[in-house]
Amino acid sequence: MWALRILTGPQAGHLVNLKPGKNLVGRGANCDVRIPSHGVSKEHGEIHVYKDKIVVVDLKSSNGTYLNGVRIQNGLVRLGDKVSVHDIIFDIIPADVVPIRPTSPQHTGESSIVVAIPNVGSAAQQYYPQGSYQQPAPQMMGHVTPNIPTPDPLTTELPDGLFQRILFQLKDYVERVALPGVYRLPQLTEFKYVLGAFIGIFILAVTLLSMIPMVQITRSSIMAESQRRAKSLARNVAMTNQTLLLQGNFSSLNTHSVETEDGVKQVMIVQQSDGMILAPASRAGTTPNIPFVHSARREMKAQVAKIDSQSIGASFPIGQYDPATGEPSVKAHAVVIYDVGSLAFDDGQVLSLFFQTLIIACIIGLLLFFFMYKLIEYPINILNQQLDVALREKKDSTEVAFQFPALQSLIGNVNSLLTRYIHGENDQNRSLQVVSRDAEAENLIQLMGYPTIAINAEKRIIAANKNFEQVAHVSDGQLVGQPLTSLADMALQQNLAHLIQKSQENPALIHSDQLEFSGHNCQIHCQAMGVENDSIAYFVISVTPTEEAGGE
């Protein structure tokens, strides 16, 4: 049995059992392997599981099917190959294999477990050394290739909803038009200069954009302060001259004290009835040609208004209470024309503020550049160091503990290449050797007249004869491929483990122990087989009555 393991996307880590024959892969509800991704066609491809091979077929999908980064119409899959449909990557593993992620990146190199996968001919079987067969984290393994095209908006089905479609088309435009130009930059100059240029653009843009609201806020504050000051000066003129005006002593009206204030352009006292200027004396008898003055005469209360971009007008009524009407009687208006520019920043102050902000942003940007560059450089250096060690010491495992899917995908491919580089040239011979050793052990125990079992170096049961099945009260189908700990008889299990340990220490001898079966004492004999270069292929263990037992 075989299973499809999804390595990337929302379903990363999911296993889907494959049935013999055709397995339909796609987005449609009728598919055997359903992948709900917009870039995957409704019927994207097929996986054909045969007795001696597994074949992937593309059904003329929009975004194609890739085998190890190469677009295919059909292709033969081997253990360790990565298949991708659009942006979803998966591989095919034996359904009864439970991948174990090593706790350490160091490869033990003590022994190997052979896992065969169908291929063209029995001589091309693949295997993974112990510890190199890893359970990937979500989006950890996959292939990285520049040949995978981005989705074509003319052939790819767009998502539902206007907002989602706009986002999809924007993302597609960025990936097809903008990003290729960005990817070209590190080819023209060193990467750190490209990163520094982006940081510099960011600093300059943020500094300029931060000046706009700051200037707007400053101008609003200056305008409010100018209005308050102009209104206060107009009230001061009105209060100072109110008594003289009510007495009709127009010649004594005085505005000189306010005219000398900073920012004051004009000060005047305008008569309510005809709009003639009563003070200052130099302008007495004339009519001001200022629209604000005429609008102020129509109001019986103080007001402030903007005349132009640089001037503010403020008026304050001068009068007394009229007992006949019960309302104040306005005789004149004190008017002040105030220059807003007297409180505003000049160009030098604005430029100084800009450079101060730019210097602070540059300091923060340099720190940001340093940490970003080191964050990018660190995993590459670590991976490079591990590659040097792996090539020098013939190890096939690297690991960088960064939660970055693209990096983990690269590490997965690097580990696959290391495995093929170190072990690939001997795959055929080793697979045939292990297969022949298993067959040898199975044939050997069938020749034994006593209960006999064969166990490999990893303490997994290779085969057991009928007599042993009766002793252990299990069937052959329940034993083969299972670990030694699957034996229900704990005493038998412990005795076998003890004998295997003694045989590993001294494989040249036959080691024996005693055990009681159904009230009869029996001897258990263990012999190491296939001893070569301090490695043992398997152990043959037989059970005999005591009266026929052989010594060690």
Residues 221 and 299 sit within 8 Å (Cβ to Cβ): no
* Residue burial 63-96, b: 16+ Cβ < 10 Å; e: rest: bbbbbbeebbeebebbbbbbbbbbbbbbbbbeee
541: confidence class by pLDDT, cuts 50, 70, 90: very high
Q: What angle do CA 380, 384, 388 make, to 5 degrees?
A: 175
Orientation of helix 405-423 relative to helix 347-393, angle to 10°:
20
Contact 11, 85 (CB under 8 A): no
In whole angstroms, give the CA distance from residue 335 to residue 266.
Answer: 8
Query: Is the bond leading into 153 cis (omega within 30 degrees of zero)?
Result: no
Is the pLDDT assigned to residue 431 strictly greater than 60? no
Q: What is the pLDDT of residues 265-318, one digit of tens each?
A: 999 999 888 889 888 988 888 988 888 988 888 887 889 998 888 889 999 998
Query: Mean per-residue pLDDT for 87-108?
Result: 61
Question: CA 495 to CA 507: how far, in whole Å?
Answer: 17
For the record, the structure tokens of 17 come out as 């059992």
For the segment 99-124, what is each residue's pLDDT rounded down to a tens digit? Answer: 433 333 333 333 333 333 333 333 33
Residue 406: how many other CB atoms lie within 10 Å: 11
Across-strand partners of 88?
85
The bridge status of strand 112-113 relative to strand 128-129 is antiparallel
pTM of the model: 0.38
Q: CA-to-CA distance for 25 and 16, rounded, in angstroms?
A: 11
- Phi and psi torsions of 90, nearest 5°: -145, 165
**Helices H / strands E in the chain, number of each:** 11, 23
- Choice among 11-15, 154-158, 231-235 with the minimum mean pLDDT: 154-158
Q: Is the pLDDT of residue 322 over 70?
A: no
Which one-letter DSSP state was computed for residue 396?
-
Supply 203's token pair.
């600093």
- Tell me how far CA of residue 86 lies from CA of 38, 71, 159, 224, in angstroms: 9, 11, 15, 60
Q: Tokens for 153?
A: 């908006």
The position carrying tokens 């005493």 is 491
Taking all residues of the chain, what is their mean pLDDT, rounded to a whole number? 79
Q: Judge whether 70 and 147 are in contact, CB under 8 Å.
A: yes
Least confident stretch, 63-72, 114-123, 253-262, 425-434: 114-123
Q: Are 254 and 243 in contact (CB under 8 A)?
A: no
Q: Which residue has the higher pLDDT, 90 or 518?
A: 90
Higher pLDDT, 47 or 331: 47
Q: Which amino acid is at 134?
A: Q
What one-character DSSP code corresponds to residue 460?
B
Lowest model confidence (mean pLDDT) among 289-298, 423-432, 467-476: 423-432
- Comparing 16 with 547, the larger pLDDT belongs to 16
pLDDT for position 267 = 93
For the segment 221-228, the average pLDDT, to the nearest whole number, is: 88
Q: Which residues partner with 76 through β-bridges?
A: 55
Beta bridge partners of 336: 267, 314
d(CA 201, CA 17): 51
Which pLDDT score, from 0 to 100, does residue 111 have? Answer: 33
Contacts of 339 (CB under 8 A, 6+ apart): 263, 264, 265, 310, 311
Give the model's confidence band at 49: pLDDT under 50 very low, under 70 low, under 90 confident, else very high.
very high
Q: Which of 466, 440, 469, 455 is nearest to 499 (CA)?
A: 455
Looking at residues 249-257, what average pLDDT do you find?
Answer: 86
> How confident is the model at residue 495, as a pLDDT?
86
For residue 76, give the H/E element and its range: strand 74-76
pLDDT at 245: 85
Average pLDDT score over residue span 505-527? 84
CA distance 24 to 506: 53
Mean pLDDT, residues 415-429 = 65
pLDDT per residue as tens digits for the range 323-332: 666 667 888 9
Unique residue bearing structure tokens 């005789």: 331
Q: What is the mean pLDDT of residues 456-475?
A: 83
The pLDDT score that the predictor gives to residue 18 is 93
β partners of residue 243: none
Q: Binning pLDDT at 50, 70 and 90, where does residue 97 land? A: low
- Between CA 117 and CA 95 the distance in angstroms is 11
pLDDT at 349 over 80: no
